[in-house]
Structure 1
Amino acid sequence: MKQAMSKFSLVIMLLVAFCARADIAGEVRKTVEDSTEFLVNKLEKERGTYDEDPEKFYAVMESALSDSVDFRRIAARVMGRYRREATKDQKNAFVEAFKKSLFNAYGKTLVESGDFTISVLTADVNPRDEERATVDLEVTTATGSKYPVIYAMYKNTDLQKWLLENVIVNGVNVGLAFRDRFEQQYAQYNGNIDQVVSNWSSHLDEDEVKNGAKEEDQQ
Protein backbone atom coordinates (compact mmCIF):
# COMPACT_ATOMS: atom_id res chain seq x y z
CA MET A 1 0.00 0.00 0.00
CA LYS A 2 2.76 2.41 0.95
CA GLN A 3 4.64 1.59 -2.26
CA ALA A 4 1.51 2.27 -4.33
CA MET A 5 0.98 5.59 -2.55
CA SER A 6 4.61 6.50 -3.14
CA LYS A 7 4.28 5.83 -6.87
CA PHE A 8 1.01 7.79 -6.98
CA SER A 9 2.66 10.73 -5.22
CA LEU A 10 5.52 10.66 -7.70
CA VAL A 11 3.06 10.75 -10.62
CA ILE A 12 1.26 13.71 -9.05
CA MET A 13 4.55 15.55 -8.56
CA LEU A 14 5.52 14.96 -12.19
CA LEU A 15 2.13 16.18 -13.40
CA VAL A 16 2.40 19.31 -11.26
CA ALA A 17 5.90 19.99 -12.60
CA PHE A 18 4.70 19.49 -16.18
CA CYS A 19 1.73 21.81 -15.68
CA ALA A 20 3.99 24.42 -14.08
CA ARG A 21 6.34 24.34 -17.09
CA ALA A 22 3.34 24.56 -19.41
CA ASP A 23 2.14 27.67 -17.54
CA ILE A 24 5.60 29.22 -17.78
CA ALA A 25 5.83 28.39 -21.49
CA GLY A 26 2.47 30.08 -22.01
CA GLU A 27 3.69 33.14 -20.13
CA VAL A 28 6.87 33.35 -22.22
CA ARG A 29 4.95 32.89 -25.46
CA LYS A 30 2.48 35.65 -24.60
CA THR A 31 5.36 37.96 -23.65
CA VAL A 32 6.99 37.43 -27.05
CA GLU A 33 3.68 37.73 -28.92
CA ASP A 34 2.81 41.00 -27.18
CA SER A 35 6.27 42.53 -27.56
CA THR A 36 6.54 41.45 -31.21
CA GLU A 37 3.17 42.98 -32.07
CA PHE A 38 4.09 46.18 -30.25
CA LEU A 39 7.48 46.50 -31.97
CA VAL A 40 6.12 45.77 -35.46
CA ASN A 41 3.39 48.38 -34.98
CA LYS A 42 5.95 50.86 -33.66
CA LEU A 43 8.19 50.24 -36.67
CA GLU A 44 5.29 50.79 -39.07
CA LYS A 45 4.46 54.05 -37.34
CA GLU A 46 8.05 55.31 -37.35
CA ARG A 47 9.15 54.26 -40.87
CA GLY A 48 8.92 57.82 -42.17
CA THR A 49 10.96 59.14 -39.25
CA TYR A 50 14.10 57.27 -40.34
CA ASP A 51 14.83 59.51 -43.34
CA GLU A 52 13.59 62.70 -41.71
CA ASP A 53 15.27 62.31 -38.32
CA PRO A 54 17.42 59.16 -37.84
CA GLU A 55 18.28 60.14 -34.25
CA LYS A 56 14.61 60.34 -33.32
CA PHE A 57 13.99 56.97 -35.00
CA TYR A 58 16.82 55.47 -32.97
CA ALA A 59 15.57 56.98 -29.69
CA VAL A 60 11.99 55.79 -30.21
CA MET A 61 12.91 52.25 -31.27
CA GLU A 62 15.62 51.92 -28.59
CA SER A 63 13.10 52.87 -25.93
CA ALA A 64 10.59 50.36 -27.28
CA LEU A 65 13.15 47.56 -27.53
CA SER A 66 14.53 48.16 -24.05
CA ASP A 67 11.26 46.89 -22.59
CA SER A 68 11.85 43.43 -24.04
CA VAL A 69 15.59 43.18 -24.82
CA ASP A 70 18.37 43.08 -22.21
CA PHE A 71 21.00 44.99 -24.18
CA ARG A 72 23.35 45.15 -21.19
CA ARG A 73 23.32 41.36 -20.77
CA ILE A 74 23.83 40.81 -24.50
CA ALA A 75 26.69 43.31 -24.66
CA ALA A 76 28.37 41.67 -21.65
CA ARG A 77 28.31 38.33 -23.44
CA VAL A 78 29.65 39.88 -26.62
CA MET A 79 32.62 41.23 -24.65
CA GLY A 80 33.14 37.73 -23.27
CA ARG A 81 36.22 37.21 -21.11
CA TYR A 82 37.54 40.66 -22.02
CA ARG A 83 34.77 42.21 -19.96
CA ARG A 84 36.84 41.46 -16.85
CA GLU A 85 39.53 43.82 -18.14
CA ALA A 86 37.10 46.65 -18.89
CA THR A 87 36.32 49.51 -16.53
CA LYS A 88 32.73 50.37 -15.62
CA ASP A 89 32.83 53.33 -18.02
CA GLN A 90 34.10 51.11 -20.84
CA LYS A 91 31.34 48.57 -20.21
CA ASN A 92 28.69 51.29 -20.26
CA ALA A 93 30.21 52.84 -23.38
CA PHE A 94 30.13 49.51 -25.17
CA VAL A 95 26.46 48.94 -24.33
CA GLU A 96 25.61 52.28 -25.96
CA ALA A 97 27.94 51.70 -28.93
CA PHE A 98 26.49 48.23 -29.44
CA LYS A 99 22.89 49.45 -29.43
CA LYS A 100 23.60 52.38 -31.74
CA SER A 101 25.58 50.24 -34.18
CA LEU A 102 22.70 47.77 -34.49
CA PHE A 103 20.45 50.55 -35.73
CA ASN A 104 23.16 51.95 -37.99
CA ALA A 105 23.73 48.51 -39.53
CA TYR A 106 20.15 47.29 -39.83
CA GLY A 107 17.83 50.26 -39.35
CA LYS A 108 17.63 51.06 -43.06
CA THR A 109 17.05 47.39 -43.90
CA LEU A 110 14.15 47.25 -41.45
CA VAL A 111 12.59 50.43 -42.79
CA GLU A 112 12.93 49.38 -46.42
CA SER A 113 11.98 45.74 -45.86
CA GLY A 114 8.37 46.23 -46.87
CA ASP A 115 5.54 44.31 -45.29
CA PHE A 116 6.41 41.25 -43.26
CA THR A 117 4.78 39.09 -40.63
CA ILE A 118 6.23 37.41 -37.56
CA SER A 119 4.57 34.27 -36.26
CA VAL A 120 5.30 32.92 -32.79
CA LEU A 121 5.30 29.13 -33.14
CA THR A 122 6.34 27.47 -29.89
CA ALA A 123 7.85 28.26 -26.50
CA ASP A 124 9.89 25.72 -24.54
CA VAL A 125 11.09 26.07 -20.97
CA ASN A 126 14.54 24.74 -20.13
CA PRO A 127 13.86 21.57 -18.07
CA ARG A 128 16.94 22.30 -15.93
CA ASP A 129 16.16 25.98 -15.35
CA GLU A 130 12.61 27.33 -15.30
CA GLU A 131 13.94 30.88 -15.70
CA ARG A 132 15.33 30.13 -19.18
CA ALA A 133 13.33 29.44 -22.33
CA THR A 134 13.52 29.40 -26.11
CA VAL A 135 10.84 30.65 -28.47
CA ASP A 136 10.59 29.60 -32.11
CA LEU A 137 9.35 32.23 -34.55
CA GLU A 138 8.98 32.50 -38.31
CA VAL A 139 9.40 35.69 -40.33
CA THR A 140 7.54 35.81 -43.65
CA THR A 141 8.48 38.55 -46.12
CA ALA A 142 6.22 40.23 -48.67
CA THR A 143 7.63 37.90 -51.35
CA GLY A 144 6.74 34.81 -49.33
CA SER A 145 10.25 33.94 -48.16
CA LYS A 146 10.31 32.40 -44.69
CA TYR A 147 13.12 32.63 -42.13
CA PRO A 148 13.32 30.69 -38.86
CA VAL A 149 14.19 32.72 -35.77
CA ILE A 150 14.86 31.49 -32.24
CA TYR A 151 14.71 33.80 -29.23
CA ALA A 152 16.67 32.87 -26.11
CA MET A 153 14.77 34.33 -23.15
CA TYR A 154 15.47 34.56 -19.44
CA LYS A 155 13.41 35.65 -16.44
CA ASN A 156 14.76 38.83 -14.86
CA THR A 157 13.89 38.23 -11.22
CA ASP A 158 14.40 41.87 -10.24
CA LEU A 159 11.98 43.14 -12.88
CA GLN A 160 9.85 39.99 -12.79
CA LYS A 161 9.67 39.88 -16.56
CA TRP A 162 11.03 37.84 -19.47
CA LEU A 163 13.73 39.48 -21.57
CA LEU A 164 15.56 38.55 -24.76
CA GLU A 165 19.21 37.58 -24.23
CA ASN A 166 20.17 36.17 -27.65
CA VAL A 167 18.74 35.45 -31.08
CA ILE A 168 19.44 32.87 -33.77
CA VAL A 169 18.41 33.89 -37.28
CA ASN A 170 18.28 31.29 -40.02
CA GLY A 171 20.75 29.12 -38.11
CA VAL A 172 23.17 31.94 -37.29
CA ASN A 173 23.82 32.54 -33.59
CA VAL A 174 24.02 36.32 -33.60
CA GLY A 175 25.46 36.56 -30.10
CA LEU A 176 28.34 34.23 -30.93
CA ALA A 177 29.03 36.03 -34.21
CA PHE A 178 29.30 39.35 -32.37
CA ARG A 179 31.51 37.79 -29.69
CA ASP A 180 33.89 36.63 -32.41
CA ARG A 181 33.86 40.17 -33.83
CA PHE A 182 34.80 41.63 -30.44
CA GLU A 183 37.64 39.14 -30.03
CA GLN A 184 39.00 39.95 -33.49
CA GLN A 185 38.88 43.69 -32.87
CA TYR A 186 40.47 43.24 -29.45
CA ALA A 187 43.41 41.56 -31.18
CA GLN A 188 43.43 44.14 -33.98
CA TYR A 189 43.71 47.03 -31.50
CA ASN A 190 46.25 45.24 -29.27
CA GLY A 191 43.91 44.93 -26.32
CA ASN A 192 42.82 48.58 -26.35
CA ILE A 193 39.17 48.32 -25.34
CA ASP A 194 38.56 52.04 -25.90
CA GLN A 195 39.56 51.54 -29.54
CA VAL A 196 37.32 48.49 -29.87
CA VAL A 197 34.36 50.48 -28.52
CA SER A 198 34.95 53.57 -30.66
CA ASN A 199 35.36 51.49 -33.83
CA TRP A 200 32.60 48.98 -33.16
CA SER A 201 30.31 47.97 -36.02
CA SER A 202 27.45 45.48 -35.85
CA HIS A 203 27.47 44.80 -39.58
CA LEU A 204 28.40 41.14 -40.03
CA ASP A 205 30.16 40.07 -43.21
CA GLU A 206 29.58 36.74 -44.94
CA ASP A 207 32.46 34.93 -43.19
CA GLU A 208 31.29 36.06 -39.76
CA VAL A 209 27.77 34.85 -40.53
CA LYS A 210 29.14 31.46 -41.59
CA ASN A 211 31.25 31.22 -38.43
CA GLY A 212 28.20 32.07 -36.32
CA ALA A 213 26.31 29.24 -38.01
CA LYS A 214 29.18 26.78 -37.46
CA GLU A 215 29.47 27.66 -33.78
CA GLU A 216 25.73 27.20 -33.39
CA ASP A 217 26.05 23.67 -34.82
CA GLN A 218 28.65 22.91 -32.14
CA GLN A 219 26.51 24.09 -29.21
Structure 2
Amino acid sequence: MQSIADQLRDSVPCDDADALLDDLAFWDAMRGFDCFNGGDATFVRAYAHTASVPQTLEDWADTFNGERAVARGENWYVIGPPAIVAALDAPPDAPKIAGDAGSPTKLTAEQDYLTTCTQFVASEGERYVNHPSGRNETAAQYDRLFPAVTAEVHAAVDSLGRDRIRKVPDTERWVAALSPIGPRLKAKCATAYEKVAATVSPVEGSP
Protein backbone atom coordinates (compact mmCIF):
# COMPACT_ATOMS: atom_id res chain seq x y z
CA MET A 1 0.00 0.00 0.00
CA GLN A 2 2.63 2.52 1.02
CA SER A 3 4.70 2.00 -2.12
CA ILE A 4 1.66 2.52 -4.35
CA ALA A 5 0.61 5.62 -2.40
CA ASP A 6 4.14 7.03 -2.62
CA GLN A 7 4.32 6.48 -6.38
CA LEU A 8 0.94 8.09 -6.92
CA ARG A 9 1.91 11.07 -4.79
CA ASP A 10 5.05 11.54 -6.86
CA SER A 11 2.92 11.85 -10.01
CA VAL A 12 0.70 14.72 -8.78
CA PRO A 13 1.43 18.26 -7.51
CA CYS A 14 1.98 17.70 -3.82
CA ASP A 15 4.17 20.40 -2.30
CA ASP A 16 1.97 20.73 0.79
CA ALA A 17 0.82 17.29 1.88
CA ASP A 18 -0.73 15.48 4.80
CA ALA A 19 0.30 11.83 5.03
CA LEU A 20 -2.43 9.44 6.12
CA LEU A 21 -1.29 6.24 7.81
CA ASP A 22 -4.82 4.85 7.90
CA ASP A 23 -8.43 5.66 7.06
CA LEU A 24 -10.25 6.81 10.19
CA ALA A 25 -13.62 6.61 8.45
CA PHE A 26 -13.49 3.04 7.13
CA TRP A 27 -12.63 -0.43 8.42
CA ASP A 28 -9.87 -1.34 5.94
CA ALA A 29 -6.18 -0.50 6.23
CA MET A 30 -5.10 2.41 4.04
CA ARG A 31 -2.17 4.62 3.16
CA GLY A 32 -2.61 7.94 1.42
CA PHE A 33 -1.95 11.62 1.03
CA ASP A 34 -4.00 14.79 0.94
CA CYS A 35 -2.09 17.05 -1.45
CA PHE A 36 -2.63 20.81 -1.59
CA ASN A 37 -1.43 22.96 -4.47
CA GLY A 38 -2.70 26.51 -4.16
CA GLY A 39 -6.47 26.31 -4.30
CA ASP A 40 -6.45 22.76 -5.65
CA ALA A 41 -6.55 19.55 -3.63
CA THR A 42 -5.69 16.03 -4.76
CA PHE A 43 -6.44 12.96 -2.67
CA VAL A 44 -4.43 9.75 -2.95
CA ARG A 45 -5.67 6.52 -1.38
CA ALA A 46 -4.37 2.93 -1.47
CA TYR A 47 -6.26 0.17 0.37
CA ALA A 48 -5.45 -3.35 1.46
CA HIS A 49 -8.55 -4.82 -0.23
CA THR A 50 -9.83 -4.17 -3.74
CA ALA A 51 -13.50 -4.03 -2.66
CA SER A 52 -12.67 -1.02 -0.48
CA VAL A 53 -12.04 1.19 -3.52
CA PRO A 54 -15.65 1.41 -4.82
CA GLN A 55 -16.99 1.16 -1.27
CA THR A 56 -15.15 4.29 -0.12
CA LEU A 57 -15.55 6.10 -3.45
CA GLU A 58 -19.30 5.92 -2.91
CA ASP A 59 -18.90 8.67 -0.30
CA TRP A 60 -17.20 10.89 -2.90
CA ALA A 61 -19.64 10.25 -5.75
CA ASP A 62 -21.60 13.49 -5.38
CA THR A 63 -18.40 15.56 -5.58
CA PHE A 64 -17.38 14.47 -9.08
CA ASN A 65 -18.08 17.29 -11.51
CA GLY A 66 -16.30 19.49 -14.02
CA GLU A 67 -13.77 20.51 -11.38
CA ARG A 68 -13.09 17.10 -9.82
CA ALA A 69 -12.39 13.71 -11.40
CA VAL A 70 -11.24 10.27 -10.32
CA ALA A 71 -8.88 7.58 -11.57
CA ARG A 72 -8.66 4.19 -9.92
CA GLY A 73 -6.69 0.99 -9.96
CA GLU A 74 -7.61 -2.28 -8.32
CA ASN A 75 -6.79 -1.08 -4.82
CA TRP A 76 -6.14 2.66 -5.20
CA TYR A 77 -7.66 5.88 -6.42
CA VAL A 78 -6.75 9.50 -6.98
CA ILE A 79 -9.30 12.32 -6.81
CA GLY A 80 -8.49 15.82 -7.97
CA PRO A 81 -8.70 18.40 -10.75
CA PRO A 82 -9.40 16.72 -14.11
CA ALA A 83 -6.12 17.83 -15.70
CA ILE A 84 -4.09 16.40 -12.82
CA VAL A 85 -6.04 13.15 -12.80
CA ALA A 86 -5.72 12.80 -16.58
CA ALA A 87 -1.94 13.23 -16.39
CA LEU A 88 -1.57 10.69 -13.58
CA ASP A 89 1.32 8.28 -14.00
CA ALA A 90 0.07 5.08 -12.37
CA PRO A 91 2.53 2.54 -10.95
CA PRO A 92 3.50 -0.10 -13.55
CA ASP A 93 2.53 -2.91 -11.18
CA ALA A 94 -0.77 -1.24 -10.23
CA PRO A 95 -2.17 0.25 -13.45
CA LYS A 96 -5.21 2.44 -13.81
CA ILE A 97 -8.30 0.40 -14.63
CA ALA A 98 -11.09 2.99 -14.74
CA GLY A 99 -12.09 6.63 -14.46
CA ASP A 100 -15.27 6.17 -12.47
CA ALA A 101 -16.33 5.28 -8.94
CA GLY A 102 -17.18 1.65 -9.72
CA SER A 103 -19.97 -0.43 -8.20
CA PRO A 104 -19.63 -1.05 -4.46
CA THR A 105 -20.61 -4.26 -2.74
CA LYS A 106 -22.39 -4.28 0.61
CA LEU A 107 -20.33 -4.32 3.76
CA THR A 108 -20.62 -7.40 5.92
CA ALA A 109 -22.00 -7.00 9.43
CA GLU A 110 -18.47 -7.12 10.81
CA GLN A 111 -17.14 -4.56 8.33
CA ASP A 112 -20.08 -2.28 9.06
CA TYR A 113 -19.41 -2.52 12.80
CA LEU A 114 -15.68 -1.93 12.35
CA THR A 115 -16.36 1.08 10.14
CA THR A 116 -18.68 2.60 12.74
CA CYS A 117 -16.15 1.84 15.47
CA THR A 118 -13.38 3.48 13.44
CA GLN A 119 -15.49 6.58 12.90
CA PHE A 120 -16.09 6.69 16.65
CA VAL A 121 -12.32 6.49 17.16
CA ALA A 122 -11.82 9.58 14.99
CA SER A 123 -14.58 11.52 16.71
CA GLU A 124 -13.50 10.57 20.22
CA GLY A 125 -9.87 11.21 19.37
CA GLU A 126 -10.61 14.77 18.30
CA ARG A 127 -12.86 15.33 21.32
CA TYR A 128 -10.16 14.03 23.67
CA VAL A 129 -7.53 16.31 22.13
CA ASN A 130 -9.73 19.31 22.92
CA HIS A 131 -11.25 18.17 26.22
CA PRO A 132 -9.06 15.50 27.86
CA SER A 133 -10.75 15.79 31.25
CA GLY A 134 -14.33 15.71 29.98
CA ARG A 135 -16.68 12.87 29.13
CA ASN A 136 -19.03 12.65 26.19
CA GLU A 137 -22.70 12.62 27.22
CA THR A 138 -23.14 9.32 25.39
CA ALA A 139 -19.92 7.78 26.73
CA ALA A 140 -21.68 4.95 28.55
CA GLN A 141 -23.58 3.99 25.40
CA TYR A 142 -20.37 3.87 23.37
CA ASP A 143 -18.63 1.87 26.08
CA ARG A 144 -21.30 -0.80 25.70
CA LEU A 145 -21.21 -0.72 21.92
CA PHE A 146 -17.40 -0.60 21.63
CA PRO A 147 -16.02 -2.24 24.80
CA ALA A 148 -12.68 -0.81 25.99
CA VAL A 149 -12.22 1.24 22.81
CA THR A 150 -12.59 4.66 24.46
CA ALA A 151 -9.78 3.98 26.93
CA GLU A 152 -7.59 2.75 24.09
CA VAL A 153 -8.29 5.93 22.10
CA HIS A 154 -7.20 8.06 25.06
CA ALA A 155 -4.04 6.00 25.58
CA ALA A 156 -3.16 6.15 21.89
CA VAL A 157 -3.71 9.91 21.68
CA ASP A 158 -1.63 10.41 24.82
CA SER A 159 1.18 8.40 23.22
CA LEU A 160 0.90 10.39 20.01
CA GLY A 161 0.77 13.67 21.92
CA ARG A 162 -2.25 15.94 22.28
CA ASP A 163 -0.06 19.03 21.95
CA ARG A 164 1.24 17.72 18.65
CA ILE A 165 -2.30 17.55 17.30
CA ARG A 166 -3.29 20.95 18.68
CA LYS A 167 -0.34 22.54 16.87
CA VAL A 168 -2.08 21.78 13.57
CA PRO A 169 -3.96 25.07 13.01
CA ASP A 170 -6.54 23.69 10.57
CA THR A 171 -8.76 21.26 12.46
CA GLU A 172 -9.89 19.80 9.13
CA ARG A 173 -6.38 18.35 8.92
CA TRP A 174 -6.48 16.73 12.35
CA VAL A 175 -7.72 13.48 10.81
CA ALA A 176 -4.33 13.08 9.13
CA ALA A 177 -2.50 14.00 12.33
CA LEU A 178 -4.50 11.35 14.20
CA SER A 179 -4.15 8.69 11.49
CA PRO A 180 -1.11 6.98 13.12
CA ILE A 181 -3.45 5.61 15.81
CA GLY A 182 -5.56 3.86 13.17
CA PRO A 183 -3.93 0.41 13.07
CA ARG A 184 -3.81 0.15 16.87
CA LEU A 185 -7.43 1.20 17.29
CA LYS A 186 -8.73 -0.93 14.44
CA ALA A 187 -7.22 -3.93 16.20
CA LYS A 188 -9.06 -2.87 19.35
CA CYS A 189 -12.30 -2.48 17.39
CA ALA A 190 -11.85 -6.02 16.08
CA THR A 191 -11.47 -7.29 19.65
CA ALA A 192 -14.58 -5.36 20.65
CA TYR A 193 -16.53 -6.94 17.80
CA GLU A 194 -15.68 -10.41 19.08
CA LYS A 195 -17.34 -9.46 22.37
CA VAL A 196 -20.54 -8.07 20.88
CA ALA A 197 -20.83 -9.98 17.59
CA ALA A 198 -23.88 -11.93 18.71
CA THR A 199 -25.83 -8.69 19.08
CA VAL A 200 -24.78 -7.18 15.74
CA SER A 201 -27.28 -7.61 12.91
CA PRO A 202 -26.06 -7.92 9.29
CA VAL A 203 -26.63 -4.86 7.14
CA GLU A 204 -29.34 -5.19 4.51
CA GLY A 205 -28.21 -7.27 1.56
CA SER A 206 -25.21 -8.87 3.27
CA PRO A 207 -24.91 -12.63 3.89
Larger RCO: 1 or 2 (CA < 8 Å, sep 6+) = 2
On whether the aligned pair clears a TM of 0.5, the verdict is no
- Give the shorter-chain TM-score range: under 0.3
| Structure of greater Rg | 1
TM-score (norm 1): 0.26
More helix by share: 1
More strand by share: 1
